[in-house]
Amino acid sequence: MTINITMAVLLAGLYTVGFYLIMQRSLMRVIIGIVILGHGANLFLQVAGGPPGEEPFVGQAEPDSMVDPLPQAMALTAIVITFALTTFLLALAYRSWVLIGHDEVQDDLEDRRIAATEAEPADATADDTYTDTDDPEDFADQGVVRTGNPEDPGESGEPGEPAWRGRGAGR
């Protein structure tokens, strides 16, 4: 079987554009990228099936001239899967648009935390930045939130005392 260079370049272009669009932050571009990847997969399966031939019915044609029906069946399955995934992603994008008002994918909080820890200098330690009494996670279960500047006077009027608000701990 010979390789059709036009189809190989077209498949490479479809996969390149599809993966590029999936890497974008807009949900609509992600959906279009998945649709283009689905079309690329369908075209790949059709190219892998080989050139057209006779129907694969025993007794109608010689076995050498029959076409393999498996790539066609797999292409039909890929079409159904791409359609289902596209409708699901469109529903998610619509829900995101209704709740948030835009279709841009937000950064994950864990990604921001990792980026912040990688950006810190190597000689800074946790003891240098804050103490365990300043950690907001210690008070998350009590509903207490630290606000204000540590240099501002707190409830007692002394500088350096944190100003607290919220419920819990008798405040």
Q: How far is CA 80 from CA 29, 71, 73, 76, in A?
A: 21, 14, 11, 6
Domains of the chain with bracketed CATH: 5-53+68-100 (1.10.287.3510), 123-171 (no CATH)
| Relative orientation angle of helices 5-22 and 27-48, to the nearest 10 degrees | 160
**Residue 45 to residue 66: CA distance in whole angstroms:** 17
**Residue 140 to residue 39: CA distance in whole angstroms:** 48
What is the pTM (predicted TM-score) of this model?
Answer: 0.60
| SS3 state at 154 | coil
Q: Which two tokens mark 140? A: 């998350």
E strand intervals along the chain: 144-147, 163-166
* 84-105 pLDDT, tens digit each: 999 999 999 999 899 988 888 8
What pLDDT does residue 169 have? 47
How crowded is residue 164: how many other Cβ atoms within 10 Å of its Cβ?
A: 16
What pLDDT does residue 165 have? 47
Q: Is the pLDDT of residue 70 over 60?
A: yes
- What lies within 8 Å, CB to CB, of 142 at 6+ separation is 166, 167, 168, 169
> Looking at residue 163, what DSSP letter applies?
E
